[in-house]
A and B are shown apart, each in its own frame.
Chain A
Amino acid sequence: MSTPILEIKDLHVEIDHKPILNGVNLTVKGGEIHAVMGPNGTGKTSLAQTLMGHPHYTVTQGEVLLDGQDVLAMKTDVRARAGLFLAMQYPSEISGVTTANFLRTAINARRGEGQQIPLKEFRDKLDATMKFMEMDPKFSNRYLNEGFSGGEKKRNEILQMLMLEPRIAILDEIDSGLDIDAIKVVAKGVNSLAGSNFGVLLITHYQRILSYVKPDVVHIMIDGRIVKSGDYHLAEELESRGYEWVRTALLDQVQ
């Protein structure tokens, strides 16, 4: 399969008639890792949710293309089957549905009729992936996210990503609430998919995870738009000077 390309062009989004994204431009290609950083309430999660088609968000302007295809015209499940993946900040708890059953259903939804994954192949892949993610095998038979700790939920998101093998992954604060050991495991998972067929949009509040998942490009987002982009050093500068620096020094420039 060809190298994926996700293009976000002049994206404007509202929630309950309140503007929340004000013209986001961003392109992520296979083989690239982009970090989007910014203070709370600045639209990072809204961008992630909009890209996946969350029903609460309304796009008022702009476009999103995956390999030239109009993503905004697709329903959420079609986006997923086209290769988009969103690791959510707050994954839903689904009672009565085991993680294993859910994953098998999701893999089969991608494969389509007549090409269902054989049970043994699925089981082997799940076992190996859980081992790689240093997860207790019992998790696969627990109800999806129900009673999981914050860290377990994040790990489970990455497990799902590894099982589904998306082309572009959007990771929304995958590092929040994790201790350093857990961050390393999550990073190991993300890095294991690295290659020209896999692009990452990593949304984070802190520079910490970027020591383990090295971004090619760092974007700073404030008030619903990207105000500065740069290489890895931008994240370090942000870490030392704080978001207030961005707000005073950069926001004036773009306005």
Chain B
Amino acid sequence: MSTSTDVKWVADLREVIALRQNDPQWVTDMRQHHLDLAADLAWPERQKTPLRGRHLDLIPLGFSTSPSSVPQSLLDTVKSPAYIAFANGELQEVAFLDDAARQGVIVAPLASAVTEHRQLVEPLLGHIMDEPANRAEALNAAMWDGGAFIYIPADVKVLSPILILHYADSTRARRFVPRTLILAGPNSRVTVIERYVSSAGDEKLLFTGGVEILAEEGAHIHYGSLQNLSPNTEVFIRRQAEVRHDANVDWSIGEFGGGLTVATDKTQLVEPGAHSTNTMVFFGSRSQRKDFDTRIVHAAPHTNSNIVAKGVMTDRARSSFTGVTDIRPGAIQSDGRQKEQTLMLSDAARADAVPSLLINENDVYAAHSASTGPIDQVALFYLMARGLSEAAATRLFVHGFLAPVIEAIPLEILRNSVWESVEGKLAE
């Protein structure tokens, strides 16, 4: 993998790390280790989504990011009792409820939490997530800047959702590297929604994001994410959770933007009674490529999981969804389910859904289904026969297709944003 251009970006990024004066030594060491790893590792390999033609190595990662600010209209969408907003990797605004703070809740930029809350952060950062397996993941571990650290102490229930907004200005940055760490103490409750937006631009922007979540015994975490990055953004996102005794992590993921999207989601149910649902909605248009790998590992008895993915593909877009329910030896009386459905609005769009069950225990329940099909022409005729134009009929049909999943999102603010994203796609 070592060519002269590689050496150049590695050297440039080493300099970027060196300039981060506020990083404590342990973070600097971690960054450098992962930068070396990034140089050695290749970009992710996905069977259905070849990356060679994307020329990722030509993106000048060493380009020095200059400050920017979140456009006011975008900022207004997250203004709420608890939010934190980043622009080009730097903290722009943070607001938080006083009473939650009194209970010991922490919502802080990860970049300062590594110093201010070192005892909490150091044992977890990079340890919930598997060691980086490819260049994109290693780059995130080496170069992250924006992103939050959220800590909910034992027994604290945070009622308002905590919103995290990441914005990148494509004219002032070539890399977009957020990282978030969420620690929910025993029997705590929290909802976190993370949103990614970038401005459109002529130059490619490399996005590599990371999210780590630990749900301690009896904790309930609802994590929502909405990705509306611009078409010039090449998106790599890695999310991983560890779910302990009787704890619950529910994911609601909306993937709409980006040119290329390669997402890897992994949930480890490590102790008895752990539970997770992973709901994903995606919409691909124009020449977007979307590749999702969502897996849930049952590593303990009496664990439950459900993966639900619904996608709409139009124009020349292509998607691949790989769902893996991995039931390990000893995970008796576990229940793992999956359902994937993709709706095609054009003949040139393509979608693959590959659900798989890896079962290494007898006394378990597992089920999966996957379907991909074009829009029902007879149904469209029915709707048009009542006076709806073809576009309006298609829109209504797509709404109906996605409604069961989107309406099940328990949080109105996220639900509305997801519907807006769907509307935006339909109006393209």
Write the residues of chain A forming the contact surface with B, with a CB cutoff of 8 angstroms: 52-55, 75-77, 79-81, 85-86, 88, 91-97, 102, 105-106, 109-110, 143-144, 160, 164
Contact = CB atoms under 8 A, between A and B. Distances in A.
B382 A94 contact: yes
Given A54-B381, A92-B378, A94-B379, A109 B388 contact: yes
Given A109-B389, A109-B392, A94 B384 contact: no
A96 B381 contact: no
Interface in B349-396: 376-379, 381-390, 392-393, 396
Chain B interface bracket (under 10, 10 to 19, 20 to 34, 35 or more) = 20 to 34
Contacts of A91: 382
A58 B291 CA distance: 41
Contact of A77 (B378, B393, B397, B404): B393
Contacts of A93: 379
A58 to B, nearest CB: 15
28 contacts: A52-B381, A53-B381, A53-B384, A53-B385, A75-B390, A77-B384, A77-B385, A77-B389, A80-B385, A80-B386, A80-B387, A85-B385, A86-B385, A92-B379, A92-B381, A94-B379, A94-B400, A95-B400, A95-B403, A96-B404, A102-B383, A105-B392, A105-B396, A109-B387, A144-B400, A160-B386, A164-B386, A164-B387
B385 A76 contact: yes
Given A77-B393, A92-B382, A106 B388 contact: yes
Contacts of B381: 52-55, 76, 92
B197 interface: no
B385 A52 contact: yes
Interface string B121-140: 00000000000000000000
A110 B387 contact: yes
A164 B387 CA distance: 9
B401 interface: yes
A142 B364 CA distance: 35
A50 B378 CA distance: 13
B402 interface: yes
B382 A105 contact: no
Interface of B: 376-379, 381-390, 392-393, 396-397, 399-404
A interface majority secondary structure: mixed
Given A55-B381, A77-B389, A164-B386, A92 B376 contact: yes
Nearest to A164: B386
Contacts of A160: 386
Contacts of A81: 387
A186 B244 CA distance: 59
Contacts of B388: 77, 105-106, 109
A137 B384 CA distance: 25
Contacts of B390: 75, 77
Given A77-B384, A80-B384, A97-B403, 5 more contacts: A52-B385, A76-B384, A92-B383, A95-B401, A109-B389
B402 A106 contact: no
B386 A102 contact: yes
Nearest to A52: B385
Given A55-B377, A88-B382, A94 B396 contact: yes
Contacts of B377: 55
Contact of A94 (B383, B387, B392): B383
B394 to A, nearest CB: 12
A91 B387 CA distance: 15
A253 to B, nearest CB: 36
Nearest to B376: A92
